[in-house]
A and B are shown apart, each in its own frame.
Chain A
């Protein structure tokens, strides 16, 4: 699937210019370098061992822009942010997409996470997804705020669900954003029915 509207040029709060574009099959080395720069205690909060070349290889194969969509933020040829949408085309959660986002330390608090997330949420809506979910650990306050600004609200808390590098258990918060009203407006438009008609 070809994603239209990319690359996007974004100016961050401090004036830094980054490019947001779909992940390419040749981005493996840059992606690995990006994730390896994360401190280990942060990588512990990720679901996969993103610092391994094997994971990167598997991930690049999975990204098909149908069920797995990945966008990266690029600065001077380096990956400085990555966001992924996971969804299934069949089954009872085919209307739901899960979003993950990661931003390089040097680019945090500059609006890059918001820019990446907003771009992916808009893309997901236009792919027909009605509900988006994102998981944040209780102490990931900035990430939570980013998604709340985009319309996500807390839907569930899984108590002591994740364990950090020191063995401390933390709550996992599930945030969700129901965008089905957008499609309900389209459904009403194609209903071919006027209550005034006699």
Chain B
């Protein structure tokens, strides 16, 4: 498998970095691949732009920076505005559909799939698991990390006592992702 480059973008407080961390952890620790993670924070704890650069490969990764991602995972309009120009032609945009509006800046051949992740998280009980919904959505759509691996990555990353809600969030995103991917494939 060639290296897959991913950029996860959003706002501070949305769990952008944790989402990237879980994708990388699932690939590297539980799917026996290689992964790197680079994280960028704004100066404030909440509301500032932040992003994670994740690379996943079957081989050792020599260069961890993501200049032109194959996949964008976007949780805010600012992140879309900032990163859409970097997406490779034919790339994939996975986005929070109630927070991000796509436009004609999408590169040629790019595909996109949206999910109301914040609403799903709120319906499950807590808005702050929206990033876990997004991680599940990523796994469900792309298949880049297995369901088992991403479940283990979530369980080993989240605080004790929050596992069940996080797992429900992950499965909600995963199943929605599988449905969306199947629908668009036909």
Chain A residues proximal to chain B, CB less than 8 Å: 4-5, 122-123, 125-129, 179, 182-183, 185-187, 189-194, 197
Inter-chain contact A191/B12, CB cutoff 8 Å = yes
**Is there an interface contact between A186 and B41, defined as CB atoms closer than 8 Å?**
no
Inter-chain contact B164/A5, CB cutoff 8 Å: yes
Given known pairs A189-B18, A189-B159, A191-B46, the reply for A127 and B165 (CB within 8 Å) is yes
Contact partner of B41 (CB less than 8 A), chosen from A179, A185, A197, is A197
A183, A185, A191, A192: the one contacting B126 at CB < 8 Å is A183
Chain B residue nearest to A129 in the complex (CB):
B125
Contacts of A187 in B (CB 8 A): 128
How many angstroms from the CA of A103 to the CA of B96 in the assembled complex?
A: 46
Q: Please give the residue numbers on chain B whose beta carbons come within 8 Å of chain A beta carbons, in ascending order.
A: 10-18, 39, 41-46, 50, 124-126, 128-129, 131, 157-165, 167-168
Q: With both chains docked as a complex, state the minimum distance between the C-beta of A84 and any C-beta of chain B, in angstroms.
A: 18
Extra A-B contacts (5), CB below 8 Å, given A179-B161, A186-B126: A126-B162, A183-B126, A193-B50, A194-B41, A197-B43
Can you list 20 A-B pairs, Cβ within 8 angstroms, ordered by A?
A: A125-B161, A126-B164, A126-B165, A128-B125, A129-B125, A183-B126, A185-B162, A186-B128, A189-B158, A190-B15, A190-B128, A190-B131, A192-B12, A192-B15, A192-B18, A193-B12, A193-B41, A193-B42, A193-B45, A194-B41
In whole angstroms, how far apart are the Cα atoms of A123 and B161 in the complex?
Answer: 9
Contact call B125/A191, Cβ cutoff below 8 A: no
B15 contacts which chain A residues (CB < 8 A)? Answer: 189-190, 192
Q: Which residues from A are CB-within-8-Å of B158?
A: 186, 189
Bound Cα distance A191, B45 (Å): 6
Contact in complex: B18, A190 (CB < 8 Å)? yes
Residue of B nearest to A187 (CB): B128
- Greatest chain B CB density within 10 A among A123, A183, A186 is at A186
* Highest count of chain A CB atoms <10 Å: which of B18, B126, B157: B126
Q: How many Å from the CB of B127 to the closest CB on chain A?
A: 9
Q: A126-B163, A128-B165 are in contact. Are A192 and B125 (CB under 8 A)?
A: no
Q: With A and B bound together, what is the CA distance between A187 and B13 in angstroms?
A: 8
Residues of B within 8 A of A191 (CB): 12-13, 45-46
Look across to chain A and name the residue whose beta carbon is closest to the beta carbon of B15: A190
Chain B residues within 8 Å of A193, by CB:
12, 41-42, 44-46, 50
Minimum CB–CB distance for A69 against chain B, Å? 12
- A194–B42 Cα distance when bound, in Å, is 9
Instruction: Specify the chain B residue showing the minimal Cβ separation from A198.
Output: B43
A128 to B162 Cα, complex, angstroms: 8
Residue of B nearest to A185 (CB): B159
Which chain B positions have C-beta within 8 A of A5? 164
Closest to A197 in B: B41
Q: Bound state CA distance, A81 and B165, in angstroms?
A: 25
Contacting residues, chain A, for B11 (C-beta < 8 A): 192
